[in-house]
A and B are shown apart, each in its own frame.
Chain A
């Protein structure tokens, strides 16, 4: 059930788009994409602000290496246990761009007897990295549909992505990598008993949705080609706020666009917000300089304590007998 619900949800989305686009190009080509972008942008900002409303009362970095010690002869691990803002920036970049923490991943195995081992396990790191980076490159590459004069850097990305020069139109490496990585992440979720056990429909849905987006994209580029000039005209119409529906664009494109719109609208409501959340994670975005720089808790309030005077009142005679100095005789 946890897999079937999202599976049929994605199938339904494709069918809705294929059928619906025939009925109203404007709805699927203009209004739904606009609505999706609005939900995405405002939903994302709303969510981040909602997180931001709660303070960070304590400085609680997870320290992942030697701290900055009292003397330089003990060497600090500046990236895994940063003590400065620059170090935190480095740690965050390493986390966001290279998935530093996942790189540590190990696999625990219990052998007959009592032997436990923790082998290096880089597949999740590799799969995650492949997925996110290819997604990013594909997104950047799509800017050639989003800009009137395509800037040189975008052309470079596109050029590098197709440098193998396989087939015509040239095969993009990231197309293969993305679909492969999504498939891997999906299979991993289905086949590893523990991961399957904790997976929710909300875990399968984005994977299947992104697979659908990738698959419709690949179909359009390599197999059931769409007139790209018209497609760009439509997209540019949206981006310049003068929407047009050029003739001759097949439903496949509308299906692709609808799935992307779904992803955008779904994004702020879902776990996909880890994109914004990772930057706000107090265990990763804070410097371990606790004893050196004061951290203020905005809601710190006075508490009822048991004072020394009360303590001495409780034990004065015993203290005097034991020879301990007291404040009041």
Chain B
């Protein structure tokens, strides 16, 4: 058959185009993982009062499980009217994205969005909640 090589080359090119894509797409781009900022006025104030920065749960837990925690909070409030969260240290918090989480993390662009954009995650928190005004020090 005369055009055998056409097919073969077609297959090879198609194959390289698909599987080589991530390589040449990233050509020349630096591999920079996002750095988060914990320097909002509220956090700095907390640090002044308590001598340390801490979230409702340990940082490692929050990094991996915040989405689940937020989901639980939403269900507690919306479905069961439960507004108090007791954390692993025994402290109580008012369950509220707006007034608790975003009170400290009032820098969505420098905090939430950093990782979410990096990993192309689009959580639907803010389809109901209002994005607070960015506050930074």
Contacts and interface: CB of A to CB of B under 8 A. Distances in A.
A204 B72 CA distance: 40
B14 to A, nearest CB: 8
Nearest to A277: B11
Contacts of B88: none
Interface residue tally on A, bucketed by range: 35 or more
A147 B25 contact: yes
Interface residues of B, number: 39
Nearest to B24: A239
Interface in A167-213: 167-169
Contacts of B67: 168-169
Interface in B8-45: 8, 10-12, 15-16, 19-23, 25-27, 29-31, 33-34
B50 interface: no
B4 interface: yes
A242 B32 CA distance: 11
Given A237-B31, A295-B1, A296-B2, A48 B8 contact: yes
B1 A56 contact: yes
A143 B119 CA distance: 10
B64 interface: yes
A245 B115 CA distance: 18
Interface stretch (A9-17, A122-130, A224-232): A224-232
Interface in B98-125: 115, 118-122, 124
Given A41-B16, A145-B119, A229-B115, 14 more contacts: A40-B19, A44-B15, A45-B12, A48-B15, A52-B8, A144-B120, A149-B29, A159-B122, A225-B65, A233-B31, A239-B22, A246-B33, A276-B15, A279-B11
